[in-house]
Amino acid sequence: MNRQIKSALISVFYKDGLEPIVRKLHALNVHLYSTGGTQSFIEQLGIPCTSVESVTSYPSILGGRVKTLHPKVFGGILARRDFDEDQKHVQEFEIPLLDLVIVDLYPFEETVKSTNDEKAIVEKVDIGGVSLIRAAAKNHKDVCIVASRNQYSQLLELLESNNGETTLEDRRRFAAAAFTECAHYDVAIADYFNRSANTESFQLSISNKQPLRYGENPHQQAAFYGDINAIFDKLNGKELSYNNLVDVDAGCRIISEFKNPAFAIIKHTNVCGVAEREDVLTAWTAALAGDPESAFGGVLITNQTINAAVAQKINELFFEILIAPAYDEDALTLLKGKKNRIILQQKQSFYPEREFKRILNGVLVQEADKGNYNEWIEAGGRNCTDAEKADLAFANIVCKHLKSNAIALVKDRQLIGKGCGQTSRIDALRQSIEKARQFGIDLNGAVLASDAFFPFDDSVRMAHQAGITAIIQPGGSMRDNDTIQYCKDNNLALVMTQMRHFKH
């Protein structure tokens, strides 16, 4: 059933984009009702507006906490046009019917991000706005609700194309968006208050749906929910795919671990090349040298500005995505030479606070794996040299970002061999040694990191035979003493961290 908009209640926090709607409603002879700042905004446009206070005979009270919470306001929204009893009450109590409600919500999430002042945060818990939105959405058979400035363009187009008339389909679409807006808002509030409470429910609401071409595989539908533009500016290339986004996330996590110039190469969420150096060009050269084969088609990420020299080297390789905090103009011109190549400028560092995974008929939630080691216990045949300490700390971070079971071999802050996703630790070690040897890398003097303890001493024996001189691992095995004794007998440095880094 179509409805002609004859009256509208407008009360919004954000005024940007509102003016053309107000002017169009006025041109359609729609009677406008408003409050406070929105009323002043409308009147400054030279457009007449009736105050809600004049309808309710009550002023805005309690510092603005109570403005629209009144039967004459909610009656005008909730009254069913085809119910005789409702219309009788409308006449009896002189309730003005409202055909359009434009109301948004206080910026609660923005306030939480900008301050720790709980008083200021609590004041941004909207009461009247949510109530008005829900009332109008409930009565969408008769009333059109616009609950976000993101829908202003849709409303304006509707007003212009249909001369102020709405269909039931239009109103139902706006109502669905309104309920979604309220749900997201309530989850954000609950999340804030549950941070310090022992809650028994898991709630998450993320807006900004971005449909993807497909999921991990072409037969799977997929979408991304979130504001990726808050983290990146896309400077070139096609749209990011599901698998691209997963690898970009992995890249952002590992690069955030390094303070010195670093470069990392990601394939299927695993780091296949990474190095720290004094400048971006040598960091790239070392990262690529660790596994030039796997780098093909990878995601590249650095914490340094991409200059022309490194751009020329990178341009020799086929890759999917390059991420950096900045690009020199000549470097960017060169890299844009291939139109499908995705180039992202990272605007802020990213590492999650929490992680969650759908599992069985529920959700697993955990804190993100932050940090490197809890303790640094020298338990081998000798203490580490300064160079070994630097390499072990670097290797342990790298190992944290490999799928378990994982082993990382490092020399001079360069990943030179890795084993990941293996069902036994010694298989991961075999894979890492083979990788290094595949590219002719000398393992003598290299160090080893393991994401979890060694169940037997077979891994340290194999590592020693390959030329590795220092090892870092969390410890915790019933046979730790076997590993410790072998290292003591063979003058190997061994560090126990008491911090496991499983990644599944």
The b/e string for 227-236 (b: 16+ C-beta within 10 A; e otherwise) is: eeeebbeeeb
Could you tell me the two tokens for 237? 């290339």
Check residue 297 and give left, alpha or beta (phi > 0: left; psi -120 to 50: alpha): left
The residue among 84, 184, 94, 168 whose CA lies nearest residue 133 is 184
Q: What is the DSSP letter of 60?
A: -
DSSP character at residue 302: E
Which is the catalytic residue, given 138, 184, 403, 488? 138
Phi-psi region of 291 (alpha: psi -120 to 50; beta: other; left: phi over 0): beta
Task: Report how far residue 216's alpha carbon sits from residue 165's, in angstroms, rounded to the nearest whole number.
Answer: 43
Q: Which helix (H) or strand (E) holds 247?
A: helix 242-255
Q: Which residue in the list 24, 72, 234, 268 is annotated as catalytic?
A: 268
Q: Where are the alpha helices (DSSP H) in 317-378?
A: 329-335
Cα-based distances in Å from 147 to 130, 131, 132, 285: 9, 11, 9, 52
CA 315 – CA 336 distance, rounded (Å) = 10
CB atoms < 10 A from the CB of 186, how many? 16
Q: Strands of 342-346's sheet, edge to edge?
A: 232-236, 342-346, 321-324, 299-302, 262-267, 270-276
Other residues' Cβ atoms within 10 Å of the Cβ of residue 217: 9
**DSSP three-state, residue 452:** coil
Instruction: Check if the beta carbon of residue 346 is closer than 8 Å to that of residue 323.
Output: yes
User: Exposed/middle/buried for 147, CB within 10 Å: 0-12, 13-18, 19+?
Assistant: buried
Q: If we measure between CA atoms, which residue out of 396, 398, 262, 408 comes closest to residue 323?
A: 262
**Contact (CB, 8 A) for 484 and 435:** no
Return the closest-CA partner of residue 81 out of 71, 91, 73.
91
User: Is 268 annotated as catalytic?
Assistant: yes
Which of 140, 185, 175, 156 is CA-nearest to residue 1?
140
Q: Which DSSP category does 382 fall into?
A: B
Asked if 10 contacts 102 with a C-beta cutoff of 8 angstroms, the reply is: yes
Catalytic positions are 138, 268
